[in-house]
Each structure stands twice: as structure tokens, then as C-alpha cells.
């Protein structure tokens, strides 16, 4: 899990039908706090292979990697079971 180096307001929506599960709520709360999807970390290609042909149309942005100067990984390795990993 990495934290993006951005500032400013964060919108946070818990609208139905999506945010009825505690895991989904925690996932979205972490995004509001600035945390990024694990598959967007700069070093992700050392840990996983992205099958771009399997990405749903319109979801490509969820797999764009951050540059090293855009996110702080806190010296952690890739966490395959991390809560902010995107299941798609």
C-alpha cells in the first residue's frame, strides 16, 4: 500500500449499492486518505504481470503505474493480499 503525494479535498461517497460491505468502505476510506491501489505502485512489474487484454473497458486507469516521485511506499514490498488491491 502506498500513499500518493497529493493534497487537497477528497470526495468520499458511501452510496448504495456499492458500499454496503465493511471491506469496501475501508477500501474507499483509504483512498480518501490518499492511499493508492497496490497494482499502481512504481515497482509492481517486479511482483505481478498485468494482463491488459483482461482489463474491463473503462478501467484501464486503475492499472497506470505511479512514478516513484508520486507515491511513498514506506519501504514495503508488494502485498498480494492488501486491502487496496483492486480485484479487477
Residue tagged active-site, from 15, 28, 60, 82: 28
**∠ Cα 85 3 69 (to 5°):** 115
* 28 has catalytic annotation: yes
Residue 24: its H or E element: helix 22-32
- Determine the Cα–Cα distance for residues 52 and 11; give it in Å rounded to an integer: 28
The residues that are catalytic are: 28
Amino acid at each position: 500500500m502506498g500513499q500518493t503525494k497529493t493534497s487537497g479535498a477528497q470526495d468520499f461517497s458511501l452510496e448504495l449499492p456499492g458500499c454496503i460491505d465493511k471491506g469496501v468502505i475501508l477500501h474507499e476510506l483509504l483512498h480518501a486518505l490518499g492511499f493508492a491501489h497496490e497494482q499502481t505502485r512504481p515497482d509492481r512489474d517486479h511482483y505481478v504481470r498485468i494482463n491488459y487484454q483482461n482489463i474491463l473497458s473503462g478501467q484501464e486507469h486503475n492499472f497506470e503505474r505511479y512514478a516513484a516521485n508520486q507515491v511513498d511506499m514506506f519501504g514495503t514490498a508488494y502485498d498480494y493480499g492488501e486491502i487496496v488491491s483492486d480485484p479487477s
